[in-house]
Amino acid sequence: MELNRRQILAASRGGLAALILPKFAFAADRPDLGAIAAMRGLRFGSAYDREVMTDGAAASLLKSEVRIGAIENSLKFDWLRPDGPTANFAAADEVVDFGLKAGLRLRGTALIWNDWLPDWLKWSSVADRRQIMDRHIDEVLFRYAGRVTSWDVVNEPFFPLHGREGGYRKGYWFDALGPDYIATAFRRAAKADSQAELVLNEAFCEQDDELGQSVRPLFYECVKRLKADGVPLHAVGFQGHLKPHLPFDYGRFADWVASVAELGVSVKITELDVDDSQLPADVAARDAAVAAQVTAFLEPVLKVEAVKEVIAWQLSDKYSWYGTADWYPKDRPARSHLFDAEMKPKAAAVAAAAAFRASAAR
Ligand code: XIL
């Protein structure tokens, strides 16, 4: 037996009850999460990249489910400029064109990030590095102005475990320019594309462990300072790579998110998925645990009216980044996403649909 779309939607209204439906219940259909979210004034999106050029099923799933496309890698500094300061935009252009033809609003991730930078940058002088940063922001934002309309201008500003004063993440940008690199990047981005939505994106805040608890106040104070200084910051993003094996209290996280929004920013969940590396190997048990984590997170977070967008970090397990991470177990494929490797909705998709339906209208 396979459920048709109406039955899946009806099941999704049942919230947790839907999670105990047999596995085959989620087999064939497309729930259209984008439409369900839109009924509450929410926008649902997903990361995607070049895989959609050669995988018709993945492309079709993306087109039918999402309203926002976040370009997973092709616009990142190391992908555009792997060998030196001159960029090659060929691959990124194709990925952008694909998203526009699919009718998506596009997000760029990530303009300035202290992680994943090419080695050649380390040999540049401080003065050169400042210029390289300016040039990168100018070239990328000019090129995609009006097409990529929202940008993570700075990604992951804080990582207290690096031991830098102020808890900043170390890396070639921070080490050369200091904490000011954040305001500098936002100001430059606003000059290059005055219409773009400029976002500060952060990891770990949703965790209630020591790391999450230490990043939250740093992030809050940073947003407060940027706003007080008149820096063009429009929205904040919280990644939402959920980790069920770490302490979490998503109600508390949601309260904190509401307090950040009061500083004058809208909020996005930018990279939703579930790290299932430490969940049971059994597929049914793992899928139920992933879905329960999606529910536990989205229900309180979507009560915060300032949260306007939820973006999954890829729709299908087939393109999970967890499989490529060196710390992820190699003996079993990740089941971290809303759709399985055959592009079929899993319990997690039903859980997301239920949470969208249960959220207040924006
Ligand atoms: C990841 C991509 O998913 C991988 O394909 C790539 O190899 C590394 O980057 N936080 C972020 C994202 O902000 O940009 C990262 O994306 C995942 C963690």
Please choose from 71, 158, 311, 313 the residue to mutate so as to test ligand 1's pocket, defined by most ligand atoms within 8 A of CB.
313
Rounded distance from Cα 269 to ligand 1 centre (Å): 15
For residue 328, what pLDDT is reported? 95
Task: Give the span between the Cα atoms of 50 and 112, in whole angstroms.
Answer: 21
Q: Where are the domains of the chain?
A: 5-358
CA distances from 216 to 47, 222, 227, 245, 250 (A): 24, 10, 17, 20, 13
- pTM of the prediction? 0.93
Average pLDDT score over residue span 208-236: 98
Q: Mean pLDDT across the chain, nearest whole number?
A: 93
φ, ψ dihedrals at 235, nearest 5°: -150, 160
Give the model confidence (pLDDT) of 278-293 as tens digits.
999 999 999 999 999 9
Name the helix (H) or strand (E) containing 9. helix 5-13
- Which atom in ligand 1 lies closest to the alpha carbon of residue 49? 5
Rounded distance from Cα 72 to ligand 1 centre (Å): 7
For residue 10, what pLDDT is reported? 45
For residue 29, what pLDDT is reported? 76
Average pLDDT score over residue span 232-236: 99
Asked if the model's pLDDT at residue 8 lies above 50, the reply is no
Rounded distance from Cα 255 to ligand 1 centre (Å): 27
Ligand 1 contacts (CB < 6 A) are 72-73, 109-110, 116, 155, 203, 239, 271, 321, 324
Asked if the model's pLDDT at residue 61 lies above 60, the reply is yes
- Which atom in ligand 1 lies closest to the alpha carbon of residue 47? 3
pLDDT-derived band at 43 (thresholds 50, 70, 90) equals very high
Average pLDDT score over residue span 117-136: 96
Question: If you search the block for the tokens 């299908």, which residue do you land on?
Answer: 316
Average pLDDT score over residue span 142-156: 98
Give the model confidence (pLDDT) of 246-283 as tens digits.
999 999 999 999 999 999 999 999 999 999 999 999 99
Of all protein residues, the one whose alpha carbon is nearest to atom 16 of ligand 1 is 72
Q: Do residues 32 and 64 touch, judged by C-beta distance below 8 A? A: yes
Lowest-pLDDT range of 17-26, 38-47, 103-112, 340-349: 17-26
Residues 6+ apart with CB under 8 A from 119: none
For residue 12, what pLDDT is reported? 44
Pick the CATH number of 5-358 from 3.20.20.450, 3.40.50.261, 1.10.4160.10, 3.20.20.80: 3.20.20.80
Average pLDDT score over residue span 151-173: 98
Average pLDDT score over residue span 162-174: 98
For residue 14, what pLDDT is reported? 41
Rounded distance from Cα 321 to ligand 1 centre (Å): 7
Give the model confidence (pLDDT) of 66-111 as tens digits.
999 999 999 999 999 999 999 999 999 999 999 999 999 999 999 9
- Which atom in ligand 1 lies closest to the alpha carbon of residue 325? 7
